[in-house]
Copies of this chain bind each other. A is one copy, B any other.
């Protein structure tokens, strides 16, 4: 196939370009920013990418790896842009790297797109992948594109860590904490699902949708937590806080008491944008906090480390680790209420 440059103006379909022409354009974008001391052979330059291990690892002992897929029919909310689809494919994987407290360094992506996709669409997806990866100092070292029935992107992300933080390790009496705030993305989902009924200030809608469409994985926070040596367990909150609590409890063999009013709901940015009342739009605070998808980190620490950690990162204490038998419950004064452990599942 001739390697014609893709032209947005012409709005060509990818089936006219041929696989090889398309790949050439994509790999040029991916390789533009690669650090050649680390990425000896980049995306599309050979059968495999080649990475200089010692230059990449910075002396760290462990390679961490994760793979995650986003696709049209189940993962992509209505109204998301091609750029944001690409961004999300990188972000969901980086979030898993963050949850281990690892330094990401490389990413590969396999894209399936219908044959009658505009080449401009693919270019924008690729731009989103590249921008998210490079925002976290991660090189896109491999790509694959095939024709499929729907848009489907599988990313695989690699990092290095000296002390990868596990889901197991929470000790009874530890504090339960989250980074940032929860619920902006879940509010975004609510606004999309019922957008003809709900009226919220434009600025609120903008922020909520951006949180949903273009999540920011907590790489810096994950690394700071791991390096501190004060964190006893960690997981990311991709399918909702309730399910992440359930996973952490299971892996660590503990229970949790959670103080619902300590959970930071909605970002300061969103709350400051304009005053509005959640109940007026039929959205429950608890649903946003516990049953929506976010890309924050849930972690446990020894109480003695709280001061140091709260100086390093933006975080909140939301509960305490209890014995396993106690289960997971909301605690308010002397009252206890069992937490419903549901969230987003693909099947």
Contacts and interface: CB of A to CB of B under 8 A. Distances in A.
Interface residues of A, number: 73
A278 B153 CA distance: 41
A52 interface: yes
Interface string A251-264: 10000000000000
Given A65-B142, A69-B112, A148-B71, A347 B19 contact: yes
B347 A164 contact: no
Q: Tell me how many chains of this kind the complex includes.
A: 2
Interface stretch (A29-37, A56-64, A185-193, A321-329): A56-64
B154 A69 contact: yes
Interface string A41-68: 1000011111111101100111111111
A-B interface, 4 closest residue pairs, ranked by CB to CB distance from nearest? A154-B154, A47-B99, A156-B156, A48-B64
A346 B148 CA distance: 10
B147 A149 contact: no
A67 B167 CA distance: 28
A214 B159 CA distance: 32
Interface string A72-114: 0111000000000000000000001101101000101110100
Interface of A: 1, 14-15, 17-20, 22, 40-41, 46-54, 56-57, 60-69, 71, 73-75, 96-97, 99-100, 102, 106, 108-110, 112, 115, 141-150, 152, 154, 156, 158-161, 164, 166-167, 234-236, 251, 345-347
A1 B110 CA distance: 29
**Which of A46, A52, A148 has the most B CB atoms < 10 Å from its CB?**
A46
A279 to B, nearest CB: 31
B147 A47 contact: no
Given A22-B347, A47-B96, A48-B64, 10 more contacts: A40-B164, A46-B164, A47-B66, A47-B234, A48-B97, A53-B57, A53-B160, A67-B154, A71-B112, A110-B110
B345 A164 contact: no
Contacts of A144: 67-69, 154
B64 A159 contact: no
Nearest to A22: B347
A73 B108 CA distance: 23
5 contacts: A47-B235, A65-B141, A66-B142, A67-B108, A69-B112
Nearest to A345: B19
